[in-house]
Structure 1
């Protein structure tokens, strides 16, 4: 008669395992000294914490947005293990110091590309010079769409100095929104600014209540551009020459038509109205938006980098602020590496455990091998 199979799920709690390393002592009579076996290399020397536990703590904080004090409460509740918050903070700081050379390698690989997307997001930081208040810092974010790498770089302000310092010797396409700092950076020789169609669309979408007739017309045209792009990707696939040809034939004319139509309609609306500002934004950004069609590798918008920033926004709601400017840069290190893991479909906890075990003794000239996009190829 056969059998009936029913499958259900149970939960088995995680466990903390105490590892004991026993090293025999030997007496060397000829040299009159005692010899003892060497300890295995650990991420943090003279500490009880192993790479697997560090990977869990850091993943819980920066991927699952679980602040350290909540993790401490869970460890106490589930395992009866009490650890001081200052100790756990020291562990996080030590890991960031250990990962800093890998972070710099990541930065170098992104800047070697000729296509970068850029954006920025605020973060509150406790500042000893501003007692009773927080400092408004910024995480500047750079994404290399071609290699699937993301870089967060903390800076105390939103002025051009932070981004200009990073992009000082950069040569290539820089895709960004209409923030004026990028226009100043784009004046550097060798940089071609590329616009974001999604930002332009958002301006019109927010102006819907102001003049729905004009807005709906433009949103309809932008939607057609995205549908054309989807079809072009299906047809061309990896054929960049064909993709470029189809974009010039189908997308470039539509971008021009929107510009022409806006110019004709702009005299009918108030310049300072919501729809008037949206029109001005599109016209001002048009040279950069049109630049999307210069290279088939370029995306229509910056949505992918905004997806990379989302964990930062979720994290802010949980831990509210960074404890110091150094802490904010530590946050940048971890978000850079974990965002790169996400793009490359890498399990962040497995990746970090493996990296923390290897990196203390790893050849600094070969650190690129540990970046998530290369790590996944060696662990398939």
Structure 2
């Protein structure tokens, strides 16, 4: 029995020892598992954070890709058409609109809707082939029928006129000045025919007419053609050199560039006179655009800027170049003595004029509309509402134009219809801006419009003021077209001369003046005006020149 008991105790001890070992092994494995699980959870959280960042970046890039595709391949118009115009209405939730404001807004919307219903539809013009101008030279070509016989009697004719073209003619203006020797008269010498001590006869010759560029064989008409082709039709000089070569005239590029520099110097005083006239007006629009200029130190083209100022009421424009800078100091120096209304986009350089006495800063609704158009894919409901409100403001302008209202009547119409709509739109922006996705296009559109709303709303103060800066952008468009052709300006002097040409030819376009006729005449007269300070250079500016010259308008010539 004792042996059996002993064996039993040993077995129990072994079992207990084995259990303790298994328990310790299990505890050790559990510790390992807990550590691995913590590591896996940490790695999982890290991966989830990376995936979230990647998703955010993918969404951002997808949004940018959609915007670029629309920008480069989509329709460029900003015109907005709602899916169901009959359901356009203001949502009042969240807006603190006073009861009298609500009544005024509903009345304005009702009047606009009724006007649209009453407005007669414009008749579509039928396409008609215009007759060819009578002043063109005719070359008659007679085609007789085959087998013409003597017993045939002519009873009429069928006439077909075809417009043909020949390359422009380059000709030489040969100026001959006969020289005369004055002989002593038979009665003896007098004061006018007195010869010198060596008995050399006096020489008489006519004075040479004033030429545009002294010591140059470039005539006024050729200079006019070169400058017009480059800065009106955007043909670079190297292409014009090739065109002249086709008619047998070979001109080095250095010669053409020298003529361009001389022409810019010749017209600079006229350009400065134009600048003074524009800055004396009381309503201007300002914009700026890029022009590549060669940087000789870096041996590459650098992005520079040309500033454009447009006198709205006089319909005149001038471009300003200050070493290519876009800094605020440029516009401050340019408009330092200006008094009146200044209409611009949202560029911060213009914000200084909010504080300048005597200057009223106006905004551009087209830029605000553009921001909301870009936000349509992100927030269709909000963007559609904003675009509908802006469309109503333009609808008021169409109404004033259709009714042929004067400036006072237009301002009164804006006060009655447009102002209540703007007030409600401003409150809607204030209510929805905090709800917009931070950093999104809708948030940027709301922030942009809200920050400039004071400027945007001031146009209703005067019937002369426009809702937008589109006319200024139209005036600056030739610069954008031109730089695609000639690519860059060779230096700062060339950019300054380009500003001179764009200014004067831009005024030809706005005044409906034929640039070829104007440049040819001005190049033949400008030397006289530059040397005689009793003459006013303003007489040569296109809008004044047109009044004093019986010439065919550019639009008539174009037709």
TM-score bucket of the superposed structures, by smaller chain: over 0.9
Matches within 5 A, 1:207-222: 207-222=375-390
Q: Does 1:259 align with 2:429?
A: no
Which residue is 2:210 aligned to? 41
| Alignment-derived partner of residue 27 in structure 1 | 181
Matches within 5 A, 1:153-168: 153-155=320-322, 156-168=324-336
8 Å Cα contact 1:26-1:35 kept in structure 2: yes
| Matched position secondary structure for 1:94 | helix
In the alignment, what sits opposite 1:301?
468
Per the TM alignment, residue 15 of structure 1 is displaced from its structure 2 partner at its CA by 0.5
The 5-angstrom pairing of residues 1-380 of structure 1 reads: 2-29=156-183, 30-31=194-195, 32-77=201-246, 79-128=247-296, 130-155=297-322, 156-237=324-405, 239-362=406-529, 363-364=532-533, 365-380=535-550
Q: Distance in 1 between matches of 2:544 and 2:313?
A: 13
Q: Which runs of 5+ in 1 are unaligned?
A: none
Report the CA distance shift for 1:352/1:186 in structure 2 as closer, same or farther (over 3 A). farther
Structure 1: which 4+ aligned runs deviate by more than 6 Å?
none
Deviations 1:160-198 (A, max 9, x none): 111111101111101001111000244322111000010
CA deviation profile, 1:259-283 (whole Å, cap 9, x unmatched): 1222222232123210111011111
In structure 2, C-alpha distance between the alignment counterparts of 1:26 and 1:209, rounded to whole Å: 84
Contact 2:408 2:462 in 1 (8 A): no
In structure 2, C-alpha distance between the alignment counterparts of 1:322 and 1:372, rounded to whole Å: 26
Task: Return the alpha-carbon distance in structure 1 between the equivalents of residues 280 and 261 of structure 2.
Answer: 28
**Between 91-100 and 240-249, the greater mean CA deviation after superposition:** 240-249
SS in 1 for 2:286: strand
Deviations 1:199-252 (A, max 9, x none): 111111111111111111111221121121011123244x22211111111122
- The answer to which structure, 1 or 2, has the higher relative contact order (CA under 8 A, 6+ apart) is 1
- Residue 147 of structure 1 contacts residue 373 of structure 1 at CA under 8 Å; is this kept in 2? no
RMSD of aligned residue pairs (Cα, Å): 1.4
**Alpha-carbon separation, structure 2, partners of 1:186 and 1:111:** 18
Partner in structure 1 of residue 554 of structure 2? none
For 1:232 and 1:331, how far apart are their aligned partners in 2? 39
C-alpha separation between the residues in 2 aligned to 1:344 and 1:230? Answer: 24
169-178 vs 26-35, which moves further: 26-35
SS in 1 for 2:299: coil
How far off its partner does 1:2 sit? 4.9
Counterparts in 2 of 1:2 and 1:247: CA distance versus 1, 3 Å: farther
Partner Cα distance (1:125, 1:186) in 2? 32
Secondary structure at the aligned position of 2:536 is classed as: helix
Farther-moved stretch of structure 1 (145-154 vs 214-223): 214-223
Task: Measure the CA separation in 1 of the matches of 2:459 and 2:438.
Answer: 27
Q: Structure 2 CA distance, aligned partners of 1:4 and 1:36?
A: 58
**CA 1:75–1:114 in structure 2 vs 1: closer, same or farther (change >3 Å)?**
same
Contact 1:103 1:337 in 2 (8 A): yes
- Comparing 354-363 with 284-293, greater Cα deviation is found at 354-363
Q: Secondary structure at the match of 1:147?
A: coil
Shift in Å, 1:93: 0.9
Aligned length: 377
Using the TM superposition, name which of 344-353 and 112-121 deviates more: 344-353
Judge conservation of contact 2:344–2:350 (CA < 8 Å) in 1.
Answer: yes
TM-score (norm 1): 0.96
Is the radius of gyration larger for structure 1 or structure 2?
A: 2
> Contact (CA 8 Å) 1:142, 1:152: kept in 2 or not?
yes
TM-score, normalised relative to structure 2: 0.66
